[in-house]
């Protein structure tokens, strides 16, 4: 019997500015199958799911659902009508509404007299079936539930049916917020759903879980598929190998790693992760923070930032000696002042240094801005130009200049080079090297691109908020990084 593939994506591409998130991705999902997509940061998994769910539009490629190629506008409502549901990591629940009212929001058909009873029964039935013993009261406001229960509600809701059938449910890291019991229950239910012809598309970093419960695996890298097949044919080691992003020779000790002298001043000490999870950085060092996004790296950076300036959010277990500056990777949300010029953006961190009685010396400001433009090679003829006129890479350079100009001892890099062109990256790598070697600055560098770690003297890999591995520059290999990203305590931590 010809089995029309439920989902057939071919050559899907999507670009965000300078970043090619998807580069000709293909995906085939049969009805009633459990498929998992695995890959490291930036592989394109989330982007692909969003296109499939209708919340993003692809630039190119063909999408066929249930054997029919999609023409015209494809959005969330149409996806729903075609039986595609999606559960993202940032939940789509209204915290002020009760559980059953949130079910009503998804289903336009739940109206008229008696809708409350029907909605209650609908969501409770789903919860009971997927997570028996859940103990969630359907009348409680979602905002009052702990995160795990909210995840359960949203997951269960995705499987509820009124007038539109469910054929595919996309789950983006669904077990990360669930406890072990609930996670197990969900895995079991996905098998049950399969018997009913419902397919599940799973994104997860828990390789063991995925190998046990999935029928098929697809490995993504750099925006396309690099392998796939029946789950039984894979092993964790093989997956790790396939996910590797860069060629071996790029990840490895840079030309002559400097042995940081033990006498260099201690800059940062953090032991929030508990014993055996200590983070240390010295003057003149470039320390990398690696691992999957959202596993505690940014928290560490913010803790250091708070501790240095005696700001809210500092932790007793974090000790910092020296001044600190922060360079964010999310330019728009946390970095750039869009109404200002390049000069003003550069000097905001050192205003007090060029002001007398609170009044800024404009001449010195211009001089400082120009000096850092030269040092970092920012491509702009005039520092008085609005910063929004610069390319993304150059804007990022301005943010780095801001940190350098502020004269900080410790510079925190929050994945600042993501989506920046390779030329700019190379120039910034050199600037960092120079600042560390010649000025003795200390860098804490969180990056989601493993290739950049080769510029670090030492790398701490994070997993679930704790340090899972400490790799000295000489021993750095991408495989070791990836292994530590997916497991806890992968290697003996020194």
Partner 1 sequence: MLALIFLRQPRAASYFGLTLLLNFSLPLVFAALSQLCVIALGDIDLGIGPFVSLVNCIAATLLATTPALGWAALALCVLAYAGMGALIHLRQLPAIVVTLGASFVWLGLALLLLPSPGGAAPDWLQAATGWRPPVVPLPVLLAIVAAVVGEWLLMRTSYGAVLRGLGGNQRAIERAGWSPLAGRAIMYGVAGALGVLAGLATTGLNTTGDANVGGQYTLESIAAVIVGGGEFFGGIVSPAGAVIGALIMLLTGSLLSFVEISSDWQLSAQGGILILVLALRAFGRRPAA
Partner 2 sequence: MSDTAARFALRPWLDRRPWIWSFAAALLVWLLTVAVVRGRGGLDTLAVAVQFATFYVIVGLGQMLVITAGPGNIDLSIPGVMTLAGYLAMGTMQQSNAGLIPGLLVGLGVGFGAGIANVAMIRLLAIPPMIGTLAAGFVAQSMAIAYSSGSTAKPAPALAAFSTMRVAGLPVIALVFVVVAVLAAQVLRRTVFGRSVLATGQNRRAAWLAGVRVDRTIAGVYVISGLLAGLGGVLLSAYAGGASLDMATDYLLMSIAVVVLGGTSIAGGQASVAGLWGAATLLDLVVTMLNVMRVGAGLRYVVTGFIIIAVLALAKGRARA
Strand extents, DSSP E, 17-164: 19-29, 34-38, 60-65, 68-69, 84-87
Task: Tell me which residue has tokens 């410790």.
Answer: 410
Residue 93 in contact with partner 1, rule: CB under 8 A? yes
Q: Which of partner 1, partner 2, none sits in contact with 5, Cβ below 5 to 8 A by type?
A: none
Closest CA to 54 of 170, 225, 156: 170
The CA–CA distances, whole Å, from 438 to 318, 430, 441 equal 27, 12, 8
Binding segment (CB under 8 A) for partner 1, from list 58-66, 87-95, 233-241, 360-368:
87-95
Residue 334 in contact with partner 2, rule: CB under 8 A? yes
Residue 382 in contact with partner 2, rule: CB under 8 A? no
* Out of 110, 461, 471, 476, the residue judged to bind partner 1 by CB under 8 A: 110
DSSP for 254-321, please give it.
-SS-----TTSPEEEEE-TT-TT--EEEETT-EEEEESSTTSSHHHHHHHHHHHHTT-TT--TTEEE-
Q: Which of partner 1, partner 2, none sits in contact with 76, Cβ below 5 to 8 A by type?
A: partner 1
Encoded tokens for 333:
């949300």
Determine the size of the site formed for partner 1 (CB under 8 A).
22
Binding mask of the shown chain, residues 35 to 64, with x at each position contacting partner 1 by CB under 8 A: --------------------x---------
Residue 367 in contact with partner 2, rule: CB under 8 A? no
* Residue 344 vs 461, nearer CB to partner 2: 344
Residue 17 in contact with partner 2, rule: CB under 8 A? no
* Residue 262 vs 312, nearer CB to partner 2: 312
Binding segment (CB under 8 A) for partner 1, from list 17-25, 103-111, 316-324, 423-431:
103-111
Q: Which of partner 2, partner 1, none sits in contact with 108, Cβ below 5 to 8 A by type?
A: partner 1
Closest CA to 1 of 31, 27, 26: 31
Residue 407 in contact with partner 2, rule: CB under 8 A? no
The CA–CA distances, whole Å, from 138 to 110, 118, 458 equal 15, 12, 50
Residue 160 in contact with partner 1, rule: CB under 8 A? no
Q: What residues are paired with 469 via a beta bridge?
A: 461
3-state secondary structure of 135: coil
| Shortest Å, Cβ 349 to partner 2 | 5
Q: Which of partner 2, partner 1, none sits in contact with 16, Cβ below 5 to 8 A by type?
A: none
User: Are 245 and 63 contacting, i.e. CB atoms less than 8 angstroms apart?
Assistant: no
User: Are 201 and 444 contacting, i.e. CB atoms less than 8 angstroms apart?
Assistant: no
* Out of 64, 105, 231, 317, the residue judged to bind partner 1 by CB under 8 A: 105
* Sites for partner 1 among residues 126-155 (CB under 8 A): 143
* Out of 3, 4, 62, 95, the residue judged to bind partner 1 by CB under 8 A: 95
* Residue 225 vs 336, nearer CB to partner 2: 336
CA distance linking residue 367 with residue 369, whole number of Å: 5
Q: Which residues of 181-196 are buried (b: 16+ CB within 10 A; e: fewer)?
A: ebbebbbebbeebbee
* Out of 83, 349, 416, 473, the residue judged to bind partner 2 by CB under 8 A: 349
Residue 385 in contact with partner 2, rule: CB under 8 A? no
User: Are 191 and 221 contacting, i.e. CB atoms less than 8 angstroms apart?
Assistant: no
| Shortest Å, Cβ 158 to partner 1 | 12
Residues binding partner 1 (CB under 8 A): 55, 76-77, 80, 92-97, 101-102, 104-106, 108, 110-112, 115-116, 143
């Amino acid at each position: 019997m010809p089995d029309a593939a439920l989902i057939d994506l071919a050559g899907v591409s999507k670009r965000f500015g300078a970043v090619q998130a998807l580069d000709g991705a293909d995906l085939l999902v049969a009805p009633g199958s459990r498929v998992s997509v695995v890959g490291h940061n930036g592989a394109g998994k989330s982007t692909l799911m969003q296109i499939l769910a209708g919340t993003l539009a692809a630039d190119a490629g063909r999408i066929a659902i249930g054997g029919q190629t999609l023409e015209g506008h494809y959005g969330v409502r149409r996806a729903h009508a075609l039986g595609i549901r999606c559960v993202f990591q940032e939940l789509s629940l209204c915290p002020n509404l009760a559980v059953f009212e949130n079910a009503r929001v998804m289903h336009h058909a739940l109206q008229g007299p008696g809708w409350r009873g029907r909605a209650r029964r609908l969501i409770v039935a789903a919860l009971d079936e997927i997570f028996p013993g859940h103990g969630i009261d359907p009348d409680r406001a979602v905002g009052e539930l702990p995160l795990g229960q909210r995840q359960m509600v949203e997951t269960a809701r995705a499987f509820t049916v009124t007038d539109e059938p469910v054929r595919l449910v996309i789950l983006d890291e669904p077990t990360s917020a669930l406890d072990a019991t609930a996670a197990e229950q969900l895995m079991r239910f996905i098998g049950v759903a399969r018997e009913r012809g419902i397919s599940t598309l799973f994104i997860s970093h828990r390789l063991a879980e995925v190998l046990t419960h999935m029928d098929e695996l697809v490995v993504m890298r750099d925006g396309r598929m690099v392998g796939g097949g029946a789950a039984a044919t894979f092993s964790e080691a093989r997956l790790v190998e396939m996910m590797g992003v860069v060629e071996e020779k790029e990840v490895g000790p840079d030309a002559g790693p400097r042995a940081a002298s033990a006498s260099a001043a201690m800059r940062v000490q953090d032991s929030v992760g508990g014993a055996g999870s200590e983070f240390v950085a010295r003057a003149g060092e470039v320390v990398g923070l690696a691992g999957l996004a959202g596993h505690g790296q940014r928290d560490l950076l913010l803790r250091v930032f708070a501790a240095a300036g005696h700001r809210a959010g500092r932790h007793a277990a974090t000790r910092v000696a020296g001044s600190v500056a922060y360079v964010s990777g999310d330019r728009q949300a946390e970095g750039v002042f869009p109404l200002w010029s390049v000069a003003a953006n550069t000097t905001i961190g050192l205003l007090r240094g060029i002001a007398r009685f609170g009044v800024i010396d404009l001449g010195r400001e211009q001089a400082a801005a120009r000096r850092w433009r030269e040092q970092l090679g920012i491509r702009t003829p005039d520092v008085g130009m609005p910063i929004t006129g610069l390319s993304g890479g150059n804007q990022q350079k301005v943010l780095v200049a801001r940190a350098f100009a502020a004269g900080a001892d410790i510079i925190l890099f929050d994945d600042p080079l993501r989506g920046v062109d390779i030329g700019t990256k190379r120039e910034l790598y050199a600037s960092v090297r120079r600042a560390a070697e010649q000025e003795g600055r200390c860098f804490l560098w969180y990056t989601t691109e493993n290739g950049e770690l080769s510029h670090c003297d030492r790398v701490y890999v994070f997993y679930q908020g704790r340090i899972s591995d400490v790799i000295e520059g000489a021993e750095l290999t991408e495989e070791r990084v990836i292994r530590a990203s997916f497991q806890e305590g992968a290697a003996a931590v020194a």
